[in-house]
Structure formats: C-alpha cells, structure tokens
Structure 1
Amino acid sequence: MQDKRTVEFVLGLIGGIFGIISGVAAIGLGGLGAAVGATGSTTVGGLGILAILFSILGIVGAVVVRTKGKLGGIFMTIAAICGFICISYFYILPGVLLIIPGLMGLIKKSQSDKKV
C-alpha cells in the first residue's frame, strides 16, 4: 500500500505558492526602492528572484514527498530556510508553511516501514 502524505503535499504546495507571491512582492519593493533612488534596492530585487526559485523547489518537494518522503522533506526544509534567509520577514508565512511539512516528511515513517 502506498503512503499518500496528503497533509505534507497540501501544506508544501500552499507554502510554495505563497513563497512565489512573497518573492514577487520583494521584487516589487526592490523596484520601488530603485525608482526613488534607495541604496541596496537592486539587492532586494535579486534576493526576491532567488526566493522565487526556492519556492519552486518547495513545490517540487511537495510533489516528491508523496513518493519519496525524506527527499521531499529535505527539499521543503531547504526552501523554507533559504527563502527566509533571502527575504526574511516577507517569507515568514511561506517559511512556516514549508518547514512544517518538510519536518513531517523527514520524521514521519512511511507505511512500508511500519509493516515490519
């Protein structure tokens, strides 16, 4: 019998989508800062793009967690930590929504392990 891991999938997918939205908001904030001449605004835009890439990694992890729980958990955990490092407060909600299923994927045993 195959382990579905629906909770991890749904939370990871929602976290990845919110992460993409947060990355776009960071890019917009960086563009707004560049328009008014703020220093370091291009860095914020670049980190927003990087956060979007990590969010895509989180979505990939959410899909992979259904078949390979540990690998998907690693992907979502990396996406949560690195996304938060990139754009900090913009990534709080997506980070929480990715770290929880990421840790669940790492800790939770699959049904094939339980059969013994």
Structure 2
Amino acid sequence: MEPSKKDWKLFREKIGSWQESYMEKLVKEYIAFLNSDLPASSKFWELEKKIKQDKKKPGVILEVRKCDMLFDIIRLINDDVITMDDLSDFTDELRENVKRYPFHI
C-alpha cells in the first residue's frame, strides 16, 4: 500500500514526538529500576542490557521511508509506542490497512 501524501506528511510530523514520548517512558522505567534495592552491579548490567535492546526499537530509532510507513506504524503499535487512537488524524484507508494486519508480526 502506497500511503497518501497526507498520511506521509502526518507520519513525518508525528514520528519525532511519538519517539520522544516513548523515550521519556523508558527513562522513567530506568529511573524506577535504578531506585530499586538491587546491588549496584546488578542494576548496572541489567540497565546496560535493557538500553541495548531498547535502542533497536522503532520508538527510539527508525529509518523513515515512505514504502515502510505502514509496517513501521504496526511496529510502533506492537511496541506500545502509539495506539490506534494516535492515528485519528490519518485517513480512513490507512487506519483500515493497519487494522487488517495482525499485531505482533
């Protein structure tokens, strides 16, 4: 599916704020984890592992390409970066196409 010009423009406008919100959520999770009663070494190595995993997610880094937009949106939903509600400004066609794909692909 080739996204419409409107959807492509909206996606490019929104992806930065979606990612910023997601990374803020991650930072809060890291802070809560660091404030736990675990030994410092456990916290250090576990946090390093988590950051290594998180920085590969589309909520942190994403190569923005028009041809990948639909699948990127599905990945963002799968990773709880966005919800279907975040797509309310997009065309009905795009929202319907997103709904056609089973999540967790």
- TM-score, normalised to structure 2, is 0.53
CA deviation profile, 1:22-78 (whole Å, cap 9, x unmatched): 112212211112xx239xx95x84556534431134x43xx213xx2xx12212321
C-alpha distance in 2, partners of 1:16/1:98? 16
Contact residue 77 and residue 99 of structure 1 kept, 8 A: no
Larger relative CO (CA 8 A, sep 6+): 1 or 2?
2
- TM-score, normalised to structure 1, is 0.49
CA pair 99-64 structure 1, distance change in 2 beyond 3 A: farther
C-alpha distance in 1, partners of 2:30/2:52? 7
Paired residues in the alignment total 85
Q: Which segments of 5 or more consecutive residues in structure 1 lack a partner in the other structure? A: 85-93, 109-116
User: In percent, how many aligned pairs have the same letter?
Assistant: 5
C-alpha distance in 1, partners of 2:85/2:50? 18
C-alpha distance in 1, partners of 2:60/2:96? 19
Q: Which segments of 5 or more consecutive residues in structure 2 lack a partner in the other structure? A: 99-105
C-alpha distance in 1, partners of 2:10/2:31? 32
Matched, 1:37 2:38: yes
Q: Which has the higher helix share?
A: 1
RMSD: 3.8
C-alpha distance in 1, partners of 2:69/2:22? 17
